[in-house]
Copies of this chain bind each other. A is one copy, B any other.
Amino acid sequence: MSTNTLENNPLREQLIEHVISLFRDTMPFNQLLGLQFLRKQHDIELHVPWQQSLTGNPLQKILHGGVTATMLDTIGGITAIIETIRLTPCDELANLQQKLATMGTVDMRVDYLRPGRGTLFVATAAVIRKGSKLTVCRMELHNELGDHIAFGTGTYMLG
């Protein structure tokens, strides 16, 4: 979507790594859940290995719906930020960094498609609307077999 690719600019790349570090290393709830952030070229994936502590029904070993919602909200939010960084001219990146702290989710819809069974859960997101203030993302949650467990739509405000 952007003509300025990541590789072209070290400042932009640095800011993206900074944001990932914020989500991964400084947010207590993300750490409690063991959220792992993986760069995949221009995209980012969110991985969570199955753990007993993340289940709802303990007999069925199914992921708690709150974990699903957290993963979808988180991957949507970080994807919205990274896309915003990508589309921001280099001389405005410093300004953008200051606004990141006020970034927030406006609203989100989660559709629970299948019980959250599996050993590894992978959340991905794609930007479907990029405005100056609002970004809308679609989010997906799959397990390690590719089963589609949940789907979400989130509206995020930046600045």
Contact = CB atoms under 8 A, between A and B. Distances in A.
The quantity of this chain's copies bound in the complex is 4
Interface string A34-75: 000000000000000000111111101000111101110110
A135 B110 CA distance: 15
Interface stretch (A8-16, A21-29, A86-94): A21-29
A87 to B, nearest CB: 16
A157 B112 CA distance: 11
A19 interface: no
Interface of A: 26-30, 32-33, 52-58, 60, 64-67, 69-71, 73-74, 77, 101, 104-115, 128-129, 133-134, 136, 138, 148, 151, 153, 155, 157
